[in-house]
Amino acid sequence: MKLLQAMPFPTMFFVGLAIKLFVGMRQFNRRGLGGLQHFDNYFVGLITLFIEWILKWTAFALMLWGLWGWLFK
């Protein structure tokens, strides 16, 4: 938490954007010819999607927090 408090707001926004782009790129590269995501087995897919879901929400929160602080402080 101390790291987030010490981080400047524009940096926070761009870190969130980078996380979002990284997760999106991984999802895009995993798609096959039919447009569906391909995993080796069910549990790997389940864990991967859950971790990506957590990272997407964390990135969204960082972007909002950084944008809010950047514009209103």
Q: Is residue 41 part of a domain?
A: yes
Mean pLDDT computed over 2-8: 78
What spatial distance separates the first Cα and last Cα of the chain, rounded to whole Å? 19
pTM to 2 decimals? 0.84
- Name the pLDDT band for 63 (thresholds 50, 70, 90): very high
Indicate the number of domains in the chain.
Answer: 1
Q: Is residue 1 part of a domain?
A: no
Q: Is residue 42 part of a domain?
A: yes
Q: Give the tens place of pLDDT for each residue, 31-62.
A: 988 888 889 899 999 999 999 999 999 999 99
Nearest to 69 by CA among 6, 21, 1, 2: 6
Domain that holds residue 23: 7-72
Q: Is residue 2 part of a domain?
A: no
